Structure 1
Amino acid sequence: MTDSIPPEAISALLAASSSKARPGVRSFNQAGSSEESLVDPSTRTNLFAIYCPRDGCGCMLLRKGDAKWVIGQAGLYDESGPFLPPPLLSSSSHTSQTAYWEIDNSPFGFENAGFSRNIPDSIARSEAVQKALGSGAKKLKYLICADCDLGPLGWTLDGSKQAQLGVERVGYSLS
């Protein structure tokens, strides 16, 4: 018995499980990489539907107007954690302030999203995570694509009615 996995098996495992039609989805950088190109100035909400960034996945996370653009503390992603950054993430996202989409009435504010189990403190120990969580007992959960499990795309705190999606970690339908 060999320990190697055939390349075609790896490709099949990495392929999206969804067969939904995918609209022309663009990354943050392809969509203009600015607040002006993605935000309705009167409502501060998303101008376009938000999708999973994985090629081949047609999972819609949010409809147009369902999330509010917020500038705040850098995301709660521990890059040493168990997830790989999504393929559309730019390397410029590691600053102390970043933009994200805030979703109220989570988890019901989403069209489709998955949530991880509580992230153990031993994994969620980056400085940004600890600062955001503070000394409270709430646990961090990552948001993932409900169809293909790509993540983390965002985060929420256990029991919270708000969730955040990283603007650079999702795709945008510009049609």
Structure 2
Amino acid sequence: MSSEPKQADIWAALQASSRRTRPVAVLKSSFTSSDELLVAGPSSDEKTAPRVNKYDLLCPREGCGSVILKAQVGKWVSLEPTPHPALPALPSESPDVDCWLVMPNPMAFENIGFSRAVPTTTPGVPKKKLLACAECDLGPLGWCFEGGSEYWLVSDRVGYRSA
């Protein structure tokens, strides 16, 4: 009798491991207001504490649900959109873009991928890298500047684990 596993047994084990339950992403539009997504971050004074993400941020693609950022890691910021000269502007219904600011380095993420730097023809404008789900490559979910220490995830482009 051989102690080697059969190919059918190996295949069955591989298939079973890929059937793990994935979290379901809830989109920002499912919440009545942005305040439902926020919680006060760590601080000695609750009034001055930064507002951070209450829930894990997930890949919004149905069937993926990969955790991109754990709860209370991203700081809520509203940015005035400034499009990159080589990229079309991201669509927005409001004049500001609500983002999760992640610092100080990419190790704060659970699962994120980066594009190559997008070239620019404007002198002095840093190159941008686009952020995508590292598991399924859905993106762009946000951006960073090449060599920088700040990473922005657009709040409308990620999912939320609200349970």
TM-score range (shorter-chain normalised) is 0.7 to 0.9
User: 2:75 aligns to what?
Assistant: 68
Pick aligned residue for 2:56 from 28, 49, 64:
49
Residue matched to 1:117: 116
Q: How does 1:115-154 map to 2 (within 5 A)?
A: 115-121=114-120, 135-154=123-142
* Deviation for aligned residue 1:112: 0.7
Q: Under a length normalisation based on structure 1, what TM-score does the superposition of the two structures give?
A: 0.69
Residues 66-75 or 139-148, more deviating = 66-75
If the length of structure 2 is used for normalisation, what is the TM-score?
0.74
Q: CA RMSD in A?
A: 2.4
Superposed displacement of residue 99, structure 1: 0.8
Q: 1:159 to 1:95 in 2, by over 3 A?
A: same
Cα offset for 1:147?
A: 0.5
Check the 8 A contact 1:28/1:168 in 2, yes or no. yes
Q: Which of these two proteins has the greater Rg computed from alpha carbons?
A: 2
User: 1:167 — aligned with what?
Assistant: 155
| Greater than 3 Å deviation, 4+ residue runs | 75-80
Q: Which string of whole-angstrom CA distances, capped at 9 and with x for unpartnered residues, describes residues 102-143 of structure 1? A: 000221110110000001227xxxxxxx7xxxx525210000
Question: Does 1 or 2 have the higher relative contact order (CA < 8 Å, sep 6+)?
Answer: 1
Unaligned runs of 5+ in 1: 1-17, 86-90, 123-129
The residue that corresponds to 2:107 in the other structure is 108
Alignment match, 2:95? 96
The match for 1:24 is 24
Identity percentage of aligned residues = 35
Matched length: 136
Deviations 1:61-116 (A, max 9, x none): 00000100001122757448xxxx8xxxxx6x244312100000221110110000
Structure 1 residues 174 and 160: CA distance shift in structure 2, 3 A: same
